[in-house]
């Protein structure tokens, strides 16, 4: 069992930066592929970024490529999402997710079996 807790969301002006953190419980964090997704009200959850257990393989959505970076610190049981050059369309609730089902970073929500509660990111124009 893994529990995920996101933090770092907030209100930022367009062009600004935020760093989201996702702290995981449990001693097997390093076994999990980790991902970030986002969701607006009445919309489907959208893939943002994912990375492998050792952080060497990443998968970034085209919509945020070049602006967002995903990383992890297995010693701290934490995964990060660094978001730069934020745009109003990045406004969403951001969710952290963990997967024991896949070995490589995945963009599909059904590959993830643990989810955090989400953190709100609001980008003003």
Provide the pLDDT for residue 35. Answer: 98
- pLDDT computed for residue 28 by the predictor: 84
Q: Which residue has the tokens 């997704």?
A: 37
Tell me the helix, strand and coil percentages in the chain, rounded to 5: 5, 45, 45
Joined tokens for residue 13: 């002006």
- For the stretch 80-112, pLDDT in tens is 999 999 999 999 999 999 999 899 999 999 999
Question: Tokens 């062009």 label which residue?
Answer: 15
Length, in residues, of the chain:
125
What is the structure's pLDDT at 26? 78
Query: Given this model, what pLDDT does residue 30 score?
Result: 87
User: How much is the mean pLDDT over the chain?
Assistant: 96
Measure the CA–CA gap between 103 and 101, rounded to whole angstroms. 7
Average pLDDT score over residue span 11-33: 93
Task: Check: CB of residue 70 under 8 Å from CB of residue 60.
Answer: yes
CA distance 26 to 92: 28
pLDDT bracket for residue 29 (50, 70, 90): confident
**DSSP assigned state of 64:** T
Encode pLDDT of 53-86 as tens digits. 999 999 999 999 999 999 999 999 999 999 999 9
């Amino acid at each position: 069992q893994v529990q995920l807790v996101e933090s770092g969301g907030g209100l930022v002006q367009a062009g600004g930066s935020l760093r989201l953190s996702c702290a995981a419980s449990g001693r097997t964090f390093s076994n999990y592929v980790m991902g970030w997704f986002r969701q607006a009200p009445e919309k489907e959850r959208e893939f943002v970024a994912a990375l492998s257990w050792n952080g060497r393989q990443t998968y970034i959505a085209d919509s945020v490529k070049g602006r967002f970076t995903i990383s992890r610190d297995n010693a701290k049981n934490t995964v990060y999402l660094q978001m730069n050059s934020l745009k109003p369309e990045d406004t969403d609730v951001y969710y952290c997710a963990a997967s024991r089902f896949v070995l490589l970073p995945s963009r599909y929500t059904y590959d993830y079996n643990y989810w955090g509660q989400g953190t709100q990111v609001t980008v003003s124009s």
